[in-house]
Amino acid sequence: MPIKLNQVTQGDCFKLISKVKSGSVDLIICDGPYGVTGNSWDRINDIQTFNLKLIELFAQVLKPGGTLYLFGKANCLDFIDYRPFLTLNARLIWYQPSRLAQGRKNYTNNYDIIAYFSKGKAKTFNLEDIRVPQLVELEQRRRCENVPSVKHGRFNKTKFNVRGKNPGDVWGDIKQLTYRSKELVGRKYLNTIQKPERLIERLVRASSNKGDLVLDPFAGVGTTLLTCRKLKRKFIGFEINAKCARLAGQRIS
């Protein structure tokens, strides 16, 4: 089956990715299996080995300086050496304090990992497109800016910016979808398959430009593809589940 640009292709990403031209992709957003639930699509014997295989494949299709965002849990990169393929720049924490699960024998997990990789040095990081509101009170901010190391020294670029600040590596400002969310496609996709558009939009804005090519190898119900269409990025989407692929196609058409 040929891969069509700006559409979702139904099939296994491990087979379809061989049809993507080497060194052609600017950004990959991979929200695939976590290996922690009982869902059939999430039953992975060894999530670390699974992710290492993905990273190796993604490195082949990414352009030099291209970016990969890999979703997972805290252990998604443990015990594997990804360094021959990609550079890990940060582990973003998507913090969800409102999760209802209450652990009785351990601390409840309240976050997901979004591993931020690049092929060599990242070529694109659009900070001006992803700034978030300043939370520091005005008087405290003024005191900080009068510190000599900020006023005249090496930290002068950290001064207050009226457009907001760098979102940092812990994101608690974007909440999970709920049953009442207007963008939710269906209840069975809640918290496992469908991510908020705001979350994906931040990733796309940060690490790609208009006209760039974005790959989503586990497209689900098409949130990344829909976001790319809105932001005028080209995209390729793979989804193995026929129903999800149809829903994704409907959302982007």
Average pLDDT over residues 126-135: 91
220-244 residue pLDDT tens = 999 999 999 999 999 999 999 999 9
- Which is more confidently placed, 81 or 152? 81
Claim to verify: residue 35 and residue 135 sit in the same structural domain: no
The sign of the CA dihedral 17, 129, 168, 83 is positive
CA 60 to CA 86: how far, in whole Å? Answer: 10
Pair (90, 158) in one structural domain:
no
Domain of 144 in residue numbering reads as 131-165
Instruction: Say if residue 35's pLDDT is above 80.
Output: yes
Domain assignment of residue 1, yes or no: no
Same domain, 36 and 150: no
Residues of the chain above pLDDT 70, percent: 91
151 and 68 housed in the same domain: no
Who's near 31: CB < 8 A, 6+ residues apart? 71, 195, 216, 218, 220, 224
185 within domain boundaries = yes
pLDDT score at 188:
87
Over residues 61-83, the mean pLDDT reads: 96
* Residue 138 and residue 231 share a domain: no
**Which CA distances in Å does 103 have to 67, 99, 109, 243?**
35, 11, 8, 33
Interatomic CA distance for residues 228 and 154, integer angstroms: 37
- The answer to whether the CB of 128 falls within 8 A of the CB of 165 is no
For 61-89, what is the mean pLDDT?
97
27 is a domain residue: yes
Q: Are residues 18 and 110 in the same domain?
A: yes
Q: How many domains does the chain have?
A: 2
pLDDT band at 213 (very low <50, low <70, confident <90, very high): very high
Last residue of a domain, one of 142, 165, 188: 165
Q: Which two structure tokens, joined as six digits, stand for 107?
A: 């601390």
**CA distances (Å), origin 59, targets 55, 72, 221:** 6, 18, 25
Same domain, 37 and 74: yes
pLDDT of residue 142: 67
Rounded to the nearest integer, the mean pLDDT of the chain is 91
Task: With beta carbons less than 8 A apart as the criterion, state whether 54 and 44 touch.
Answer: no
In the prediction, which pLDDT does 114 show? 98
For residue 18, what is the DSSP state? G
205 and 111 in a single domain? The answer is yes
Q: Are residues 143 and 191 in the same domain?
A: no
Residues 105 and 37 occupy one common structural domain:
yes
Domain-embedded: residue 3: no
pLDDT attached to residue 1: 62
What is the reported pLDDT for 141? 66
Interatomic CA distance for residues 210 and 212, integer angstroms: 6
Output the pTM of the full model.
0.91
Closest CA to 60 of 7, 13, 114, 6: 13
CA-atom Rg of the chain in angstroms: 19
Domain end residue (candidates: 144, 165, 186): 165
Strands, E, within the chain: which ranges?
8-10, 25-30, 62-72, 87-95, 111-118, 170-171, 213-216, 234-239
Q: How far is CA 32 from CA 36, 48, 209, 222, in A?
A: 12, 13, 24, 13
Identify the pLDDT of residue 191: 76
CATH, residue 244: 3.40.50.150
How far is the C-alpha of 42 from the C-alpha of 204, rounded, in Å?
Answer: 25
Whether residue 102 is found in the same domain as residue 80: yes
User: Largest Cα–Cα distance of the chain, in whole Å?
Assistant: 62
